Structure 1
Amino acid sequence: MYRYDDYDQRLVDERVDQFRDQTERYLRGDLDEAEFLPLRLQNGLYVQRLAPMLRIAVPYGLLDARQVRKLAHITRHYDKGYAHISTRQNVQINWPRIEDVPDILAELASVQMHAIQTSGNCIRNTTTDPLAGVAADELEDPRPWCEIIRQWSTLHPEFAFLPRKFKIAVCGSREDRAAIHSHDIGLEIVPGPDGENGFRVLV
Structure 2
Amino acid sequence: MYKYDQYDQAIVDARVDEFRDQVERRLSGQLTEDQFKPLRLMNGLYLQLHAYMLRVAIPYGTLDSRQMRMLGSIARDYDRGYGHFTTRQNLQFNWIKLADTPDILAKLATVEMHAIQTSGNCIRN
Cross-structure match for 1:67: 67
Equivalent residues in 2 for 1:152-167 (5 A)?
none
How many angstroms apart in 2 are the aligned matches of 1:25 and 1:77?
A: 24
The structure in which a higher percent of residues are helix is 2
Cα separation, 2, equivalents of 1:5 and 1:89: 22
Greater RCO (CA < 8 Å, at least 6 residues apart): 2
TM-score w.r.t. length of structure 1: 0.61
Residue 3 of structure 2 aligns with an amino acid whose one-letter code is: R
Structure 1: give runs of 5+ residues left out of the alignment: 126-203
Structure 1 segments, 4+ long, off by >3 Å, are none
The CA distance in 2 between the partners of 1:7 and 1:121, in whole Å, is 24
2:2–2:60: 8 Å Cα contact kept in structure 1? Answer: no
What is the RMSD computed on CA atoms of the aligned residues? 0.6
Give the 5 Å matches for 1:169-184: none
User: Could you tell me how far apart the structure 2 residues matched to 1:117 and 1:8 are?
Assistant: 14
Give the Cα–Cα distance (whole angstroms) in 1 for the partners of residues 4 and 55 of structure 2.
Answer: 20
Q: CA deviation at 1:115?
A: 0.1
Superposition deviation, residue 81 in structure 1: 0.3
1:98 lines up with 2:101 in the alignment: no
Give distance in 2, aligned partners of 1:4 and 1:67.
13
Secondary structure (helix, strand or coil) at the match of 1:30 reads coil
> For 1:19 and 1:88, how far apart are their aligned partners in 2?
24
Whichever of the two has the greater Rg, that structure is 1
Q: Give the distance between the partners of 1:74 and 1:29, measured in 2 at CA.
A: 27
Identity within the alignment, %: 66
Unaligned runs of 5+ in 2: none
CA distance in 1, matches of 2:89, 2:8: 21
Equivalent residues in 2 for 1:1-203, closer than 5 Å: 1-125=1-125
Q: Give TM-score scaled by structure 2 length.
A: 0.98
Deviation at 1:60, TM superposition (A): 2.0
